[in-house]
Chain A
């Protein structure tokens, strides 16, 4: 079965600095990979996904993620963090057989002014 690991419960960065939120995955075959963000008392919002092709995927709000097949990773990045980026971030994986989407435990990102 597919699974996702987010090794950091919490990431703290200063505003204007680059940020990275880490994600590794396990799946049979080629993966579909996703990042979502959750603000307090809200549902999850889709940020970006990797399906195939270019390993660097660009998404909403200036976020991007890099797919690395050899390291089975899909880290989320942003060149310059904003205070408003502070939220809970989830990585998710799905296989090609329409099995359920599995989520990591989430990483809380705090951007300090």
Chain B
């Protein structure tokens, strides 16, 4: 069974640009969560999508948005990039059922904003 796939793995942008990251969850999983990981802040929850609907949302500004498609693939978008957006963005896949089920993580997309 294929794991969680995130693309691209690495990217460099400049301030003011926008970026789109993609996540393909494990086959059969309907939930996709996004996290931002930085050395100082640890893992911060961005949002979760379940069956194409945003189910949970973290405390990030509106520049951060996401969506989920009917095949459960998800994208997140960051507009008007700031230097502080440099981070590893992790996608996590889950079956979306019981809260007791673990999440499965991709290897992340490392974004550098110059």
Contacts and interface: CB of A to CB of B under 8 A. Distances in A.
A43 interface: yes
Interface in A80-113: 90, 94-106
B33 interface: yes
B42 A43 contact: no
B99 interface: yes
A46 B90 CA distance: 14
A49 interface: yes
B99 A97 contact: yes
B89 to A, nearest CB: 11
A46 B4 CA distance: 13
A51 interface: yes
Contacts of A45: 105
Given A32-B100, A43-B4, A100 B48 contact: yes
Contacts of A100: 33, 45, 48, 56, 58
A73 to B, nearest CB: 19
Interface in B59-114: 90, 92, 96, 99-100, 102-108
Interface in B35-66: 35, 41-43, 45, 48, 55-56, 58
Interface centre among A42, A44, A104 (most CB of B within 10 A): A44
Contact of A95 (B99, B107, B108): B99
B42 A106 contact: yes
Contacts of A36: 105
Contacts of B107: 41-43
Nearest to A47: B102
16 contacts: A32-B100, A34-B102, A43-B4, A43-B108, A44-B105, A46-B102, A46-B103, A46-B104, A49-B100, A96-B99, A98-B55, A98-B99, A103-B35, A104-B42, A106-B42, A106-B43
